[in-house]
Amino acid sequence: MTQQTLDFSAASSEPPEIESEPNSSQAENPNAITSEQWQACVDEHWLSELDVAMAQWLVRHTSNAPEVLVWLTALLTRQSGQGHVRLELADLQNNPARYGLDAPVAAQAKHCLSAYSSDALQRLLSLSNAVARAVKSPQPLVLDAGALYWQRAWREECDVAARLNERLATQISTDQVALEQLIDSLFTADASSQDQRAACRLAAQRALSVITGGPGTGKTTTVVRVLAILQSLAERASEPPLRIALAAPTGKAAARLSESIASQVAQLPLSESVIKHIPTEVSTLHRLLGVMSQDNGQRYRHHATNPLALDVLVVDEASMLDLSLMAALMEALPAQARIILLGDKDQLASVEAGAVLADLCCAADHANVCDVTATNSTTAEPSPAHVAQLKQSFRFDAQRGIGKLAHAVRTGAATIAPNNDDYAPEVRRIDTLNTLFAGYDDYWSSVQTGESAEIILKKFDSFRLLCALREGSHGVIAVNQACERYLRKAEKITPFDKPSPWYVGRPVMITRNDYGLRLMNGDIGICLQSPETGELRVAFWDGSEQKIRWLLPSRLPSSETVFAMTVHKSQGSEFTKVAVVLPTTFSPVLSRELIYTALTRARNAVELCIPNAQVWRLAVAAKAQRFSGLQQRLLLNL
C-alpha cells in the first residue's frame, strides 16, 4: 500500500521529518512523546516514518496539541496509508487491536486514548485550533460525525457526495418505445440477456449509473450497447451526436477496454451513422483530465472552470477509483454529462484512500434498490436504483473450476484450502515455488527463437505470478529473484553485459508515470535486441498507434523486474493462466477480496501456492473494509 499524499491549506513549507531532539513542547510537557519513542514505533513497524513526521508537524505548528491528538494524527496518517479516508473514534476505542494498539510499542498511545470516553474525546478535540468541526477552514484536521479527517480528504468526500447526489436525483426523459425497440434489436430474447437489457434500460434513463458484475458477465458488451442506444436515440430525435469519452484508471485497463470495445462495435447491427460516433479509443483518467505540474496549485487541466467537453463518460475498472481521483473527475465533468461506471464491486478497492464503487453499490444495497428488475414494459418508470448487477458469467462455469472457487471465496465459504480434486481441472494447488516458474517456458521459447516483439509481449501476458505482498520469502521481490535464479540455472537468461541488470527477455514494469515518454505506472515492456541495431532496447506495445515502441533502458523512468507482481498491480489485467502465491504467515493485507481478485485475473487456469493452509483460511475469512463517510452521505439522498 502506498502512502497517500497529504495536502492541506495550513501545511508547512518544510518537509516533515522525525525529530532528532526534543522540541519545546516536549520540554514543557513531561508526558510528550519523545523522539526515542517515535523511533521505536517505526522500528517495530507499527507506524511509518511519514505517520510520525505528520504527528510531529502538528506539534510544531499547533499551540494546543494535547498528547492524545498527537497520537490520533499519527494513527490518521496510518489509516490514510492503508486506504481509509477517516479515523472513526468509536471504532478506535472499541476495537483497539484493529489499529495495532495491542502491540507493546503502542502501550502509551492505548493508555492515553483509554483515558477518555468517546464524547469527552470529541469535546477535547473540538477545543484544539488544529481541528475544525465540519466547516471549510484552514485547520489541517476536521472532526465530523465522530470521525477525524485530514481536511483535504474531508473536503473531497463532501464534494464527491454532493456531485454524485445531484446525479442520483436526476432522471432523464427518454422515448420509452424507441428505447425498447433498440434494446430488442441489440439483444436476443432469451433469459441470458435479461440483466444486460435491464442495465441498458437503467443507463439510458439515469445521469449516474453503475454496471457491476464479475469477470465474463458482459459489462463491456452491455456498455457498448448502451452507447449505441444513446447515439441512436439522439439521431432519432434529430439531435447532434453525443460527445462520448471512454476512460480507465490504468494504462493496462485502458488497453484491454480499447481492444474489447473495438471488436464489439464492429458487430453492432446499426447504421454507419451511429457506429462512427461510438469511440473505440480509451484513455487513462489522468490523461483525460490532463495532468499538470502543481506549481500553480492546479493538478489537472480540466476542472470546474475548464470542464471536459463531454456528454457521456464511461469509466471502466471503477473499483480502482480512489476518492481523490473521483473528486477531480466529478469536478471536471459538466453538469449535464452522464457518467457510467463499470466494475466488479467484489474486487479489491483502490490502492489509495477510498472505495467509491463499493460505497455506491452498498448505498444502493442499503436502500433496498440494488438489483435492477428486468421489464419489457414500454411505460416503465426509471428504477430508483442506480446500480445494475450482471450475474451470469459467460466465462466461468459457476459449478466448477475457477468460477466455483471464486464464488466460494467471494461469499466467504472457501475457508478450507482447496485440494486438487476440489476444483479440477482448472485449479491446481502446489507447494513449492519452482514448480510455478515453468509457466514462462513458452515465453522463453519465443525469446530464444527470436520471434517478433509483438508475439513475445503477447506470450508474456499469457501467464503471470501474482503475490499478495511485496516483502517476505513469498513476496514480489523474493519471487522475482527466485525466478531469475531458476532461469539462469536453466540457462535461459544470458547476461548481455555482466555489470548491467539488463538481459534479453527481462520483463519490466514502469512504477512512475512519465508523460513525456507516454509511459504510465503499470505499463510492461520486454528487454530485447533491437531488430535494427542489435542493441538492447525495451519493447512496449503502443495501443493508440497499434505498434511496438522501442526505448533505451537508460531512458526509462523508475521500473522493476516483473515476472511476479502484486495482486493490486494486476487489477485491470487478464491472463490465460495465473499462479497465486500466498505468504507463509498471515498479514492484514490478505482478504477474500484479494484472493477473489487474484483468481479472476485468469481466463483458463489457476495454480495456487499455499505454503500454510491456515493463511488461506484467515484470508478468506477476512473481509476488507474501508472507513469513509461517503456511503452515509449518499444514503441521505436514496
Q: Tell me the binding residues for ATP.
A: 213-220
Q: What DSSP element (H or E) covers 51?
A: helix 49-61
- Residue 291 CA to residue 510 CA, distance in Å, equals 18
Tell me the CA distances in angstroms from 469 to 477, 520, 593, one per residue in order: 9, 22, 14
Which residue in 247, 355, 357 sits closest to 302, CA to CA? 247
The Cα 440–Cα 423 span in angstroms is 23
Largest CA distance in the chain: 79
CB 323 within 8 A of CB 356: yes
- 402, 428 contact by CB (below 8 A): no
Starting from the edge strand earliest in sequence, which strands make up the sheet with 141-144, in order? 87-88, 147-150, 141-144, 131-132
CB 553 within 8 A of CB 535: no
The annotated binding site is made up of 213-220
Which residue is listed with cell 510531529?
A: 56
Burial of residue 157 (number of CB atoms within 10 Å: 0-12, 13-18, 19+): buried
CA distance 567 to 176: 43
Say if residues 149 and 89 touch (Cβ distance below 8 Å).
no
Distance of alpha carbon 223 from alpha carbon 519, whole angstroms: 27
Decide: helix, strand or coil at residue 236.
Answer: helix
On whether the CB atoms of residues 56 and 18 are closer than 8 A, the answer is yes
Provide the 8-state DSSP code for 30.
T
Specify whether the CB–CB gap between 354 and 159 falls below 8 A.
Answer: no
SS3 assignment, position 244:
strand
C-alpha cell at 22: 526534543
Q: What phi, psi does 393 have (nearest 5°)?
A: -90, 130
Helices marked H in 137-193: 151-168, 176-186
Candidates 156, 148, 122, 155; CA nearest to 627 is 148
CA distance 37 to 60: 17
The CA distance from 194 to 155, in Å, is 40
Kindly tell me the burial class for residue 125, based on how many C-beta atoms sit within 10 Å of its own C-beta (0-12, 13-18, 19 or more): buried
Q: Rounded CA gap, 174 and 206, in Å?
A: 10
